[in-house]
Structure 1
Amino acid sequence: MELSEKHIAFIENSLALYGVENKDLKEDLVDHICTYIENQDADDFNMLYQQALQKFGGYTSFQNLQLETHHQKLAKQIITVNKLKFSAGFIVILLLVMSLVFQMMQWPYANAWLLGAILISVLIILPVHFYANYKKSIHKYS
């Protein structure tokens, strides 16, 4: 069956009505449904559309896919935040060791190294840590 723009718009609108909000997911679902319908020999769009929905698990399956997509996006964000925390923590440890060495050798700028470690801890690591915990708590209940 050859699909028209009207059919494709109908599929997009029906997915939006049933709660599929993620743009990429919606495009993929429209593409899969259209491909399924176009590969069938029948000419009844409504029947083929219903078959396509049943084949792909129905609207509840689409909502579960959207939820899973949302969780994967959150997981990527958490991984990025954890990498940032690890990198900043490594720099803090390096600055603390440098400060200790400078203190033991009584070289100048030992306090500057210590101040740098404290500033990175307070201005980068703590806010990023609290932001990550905030994001986790929001998505835990959704």
Structure 2
Amino acid sequence: MILTDEQIEYISINLEFYGVKQGELKDDLLDHICTYIEMGQFDDFTSAYKSALQQFGGHHAFTNIQRETFLEVHLHNYLKRKKVTYIAVFVTVLLFISGAIFKLFHWPGAMILLLFSFISLALFLLPVYLVQRYKNAERKFTSNH
């Protein structure tokens, strides 16, 4: 069965009606539904569309799919931010401890290491930490409302 542009538009509008708002997810679901309908042996569009909806768990499953996709993407971004924060902390602490040891033994380069540790703290670690706090507060605020 070959779908017309009107039928594809109908499916797209229904996906929005069922709560799928994310553009990329909506396009992917639209593509999967259209492929399912076109590959199947159906006589009419209505029965093919109903069968496709049932294949994907019904129209209620679309909001769950969007929610799970949203959480997966945000969890991935959250873990990336956490990793960057830990790396920044490690580098800053390593520079500071190295600078302190160099200063303690009066070795050359102590001030450079301490200077880089304070620059890392001011320009990298502190902004990363503040962004992390902001994102966590924003996530808590949106989950409460």
Tell me if TM exceeds 0.5.
yes
Q: Does the 8 Å CA contact 2:33/2:52 hold for their aligned counterparts? A: yes
Shift of 1:17: 2.5
Distance (Å, rounded) in 1 between the aligned partners of 2:60 and 2:135: 26
Distance 2:71 2:137 in 1: 13
Aligned to 2:7: 7
What is the aligned residue count? Answer: 142
Find runs of 4+ consecutive structure 1 residues off by over 4 angstroms.
none
Aligned to 2:72: 72
Where does the alignment leave 5 or more consecutive residues of structure 1 unmatched?
Answer: none
User: Separation in 2 of the partners of 1:51 and 1:111?
Assistant: 71
Partner of 2:116: 116
| Alignment RMSD | 2.1
Scaled by the length of structure 1, the TM-score of the pair is 0.84
The aligned residue for residue 82 of structure 2 is 82
Q: Which moved more, 1:23-32 or 1:101-110?
A: 101-110
SS at match of 2:21: coil
Q: Alpha-carbon deviation of 1:97?
A: 2.1
In structure 2, C-alpha distance between the alignment counterparts of 1:42 and 1:99, rounded to whole Å: 73
> CA shift at 1:70, angstroms?
1.0
Mapping for residues 1-142 of structure 1, pairs under 5 Å: 1-107=1-107, 110-140=110-140, 141=143
Q: Secondary structure at the match of 2:20?
A: coil
Consecutive unaligned residues in structure 2, runs of 5 or more: none
